[in-house]
Amino acid sequence: MHNYHDAEELTKALSPDIPVLLNRPHAARRAARYFIEQFPGQALYAVKANPSPALLQLLWEEGVTHFDVASIDEVRIVRAALPDATLCYMNPVKQLASIREAYHVHGVRVFSLDSLEELEKIETGTDHSDELTLCVRIRVASEFAEISLASKFGIEVDESTELLQRARQTADTLGICFHVGSQAMTPLAYVHALERVRTAIVAASVTVDIINVGGGFPSIYPDLDPVSLNHYFTAIDRTFEDLPISYSAELWCEPGRALSAEYSSLVVKVERRRGTELYINDGAYGTLFDAAHIGWRFPVRLVGAEEDNVAATGFSFYGPTCDDMDYMAGPFNLPDSIKAGDYIEIGMIGAYGSAMRTKFNGYGSSDEYDVTDEPMASLYVGENLDRSDRDNVVSFPRV
């Protein structure tokens, strides 16, 4: 496969009529190295963010050895790509058949749960194994995150005592896990969640071997400019060290977006302009699912634009299908001169982009190429490596 330097070089050479994913292996490698070197514990890659075998391989090469898988298909994908990886089945509600296959066929020994029913299912599916690592998921708030994950999973702290005690009897290694929500905009999210972990441990009087702070580590998007990740790591480490846990307890995390967002951008073609609405060849049923369904704003630029400081107009996008829901409100700021036939690069699409693509209405095809330029934004270069909030690194997010 021929590689290109950037979107402009690619579009001049190929004039593509279908969307093109531009992958940046160097950006994903840089993110992986940062977590491996800076996070004070074990980093598990959350495969749901982007299950590309090529991405899994390069993360492994940079030292990511543990992978958070949420379905039996993800178990199979990672095991096929990485035979020696440690797989952690972190979906708290699983099919019995999936537990059996994960344990007996793929060597999975780490499972999460949030109910006694799930504990019994894991015990049955693993033939009452004595080598299990069980992580009880407790419910924590998502008030500091852009996308809440507080409703579906997690046992309430004041209801967790019996489950923790029963899991302790079954588990060779007992953990507690949680998820503060996606794109958490302040380290305070993790501090508050870890205080709930403290309450659960004290009430249950159990020895805990693993604290898993889950995902939620942010990336940079328009109007979402978090403090540096090292501030998150410091706040987590300080609170973790003060918990009533085993002296040898491990600290885990599950970054997905933070490891994969900078890996890819997307090049789309403008098929029509109608006022401030642009009809493009990808959309709500493809790579831009988040832009349509949760109003996510990605950075954009007109490919080949000669000046970055020209007057910009806020555009909305329509995708290629025949569905009115194939709409992305934006605003996406682009030069007012944009017209049919132009190309737009949409950045930070490596997380939950290609993973959400469907074939609805016959669309969904794309090409992929590696490029060598930098992503539109990065938490892992320059001042972003140690940038504090303007007031306080654990301040509340904007309202």
Give the pLDDT confidence score for residue 387 in this predicted structure. 60
Structure tokens at 323: 């569905």
For residue range 204-229, list pLDDT tens digits in order.
999 999 999 999 999 999 989 999 99
pTM assigned to the model = 0.93
For residue range 78-117, list pLDDT tens digits in order.
999 999 999 999 999 999 999 999 999 999 999 999 999 9
For residue range 165-184, list pLDDT tens digits in order.
999 999 999 999 999 999 99
Q: What average pLDDT does this structure show over 62-66? A: 98
**Residue partners of 98: CB distance under 8 A and separation at least 6:** 71, 72, 75, 89
Q: Which CATH architecture has domain 8-22+261-370?
A: Beta Barrel (2.40)
Q: Which CATH architecture has domain 25-259?
A: Alpha-Beta Barrel (3.20)
Q: What average pLDDT does this structure show over 232-238? A: 97
Cα–Cα separations (whole angstroms), residue 248 to 200, 209, 239, 280: 19, 7, 15, 53
8-22+261-370 and 25-259: identical CATH topology: no
Domain boundaries, the chain: 8-22+261-370, 25-259
Q: Are strands 327-335 and 312-318 parallel, antiparallel or unpaired?
A: antiparallel
Q: What average pLDDT does this structure show over 233-242? A: 97
Burial class (CB in 10 A: 0-12, 13-18, 19+), 385: middle
Alpha-helix residue ranges (DSSP H) falling in 277-364: 289-293
Query: In 3-state terms, what secondary structure has residue 244?
Result: coil
Could you write out the three-class secondary structure of 150-178?
CCCCCECHHHCHHHHHHHHHHCCEEEEEC
- H or E element in which residue 11 lies: helix 7-14
Q: Is the pLDDT of residue 394 over 70?
A: no
